[in-house]
């Protein structure tokens, strides 16, 4: 699933992304997705982010389980 976001970048950076997109036959969105993926994989904070996401996922599933149990009674 993809989420639509609003992003503000400098005009020069946008023009570079458009030029690269034209040459590589990719959309600006695709270039940004790939760049973020590389950034997240190489960041020093990836372990901390994984812990946050794991905790958030556990809370989400607990909430869903509670709703399921509550509705089945």
**pLDDT digit string (tens) for the chain, length 73 residues:** 888 889 999 999 999 999 999 999 999 999 999 999 999 889 888 787 777 777 766 666 555 554 555 555 5
Helix axes 28-42, 46-72, angle to 10 degrees: 100
Residue 37's pLDDT is: 92
Residues 16, 22, 26, CA angle at the centre, nearest 5°?
100
């Amino acid at each position: 699933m993809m989420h639509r976001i609003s992003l503000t970048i400098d005009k020069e950076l946008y023009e570079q992304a458009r030029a690269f997109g034209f040459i590589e036959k990719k959309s600006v969105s695709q270039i940004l997705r790939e760049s973020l993926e590389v950034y997240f994989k190489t960041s020093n904070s990836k372990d901390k982010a994984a812990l946050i996401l794991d905790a958030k996922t556990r809370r989400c599933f607990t909430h869903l389980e509670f709703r399921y149990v509550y509705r089945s009674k």
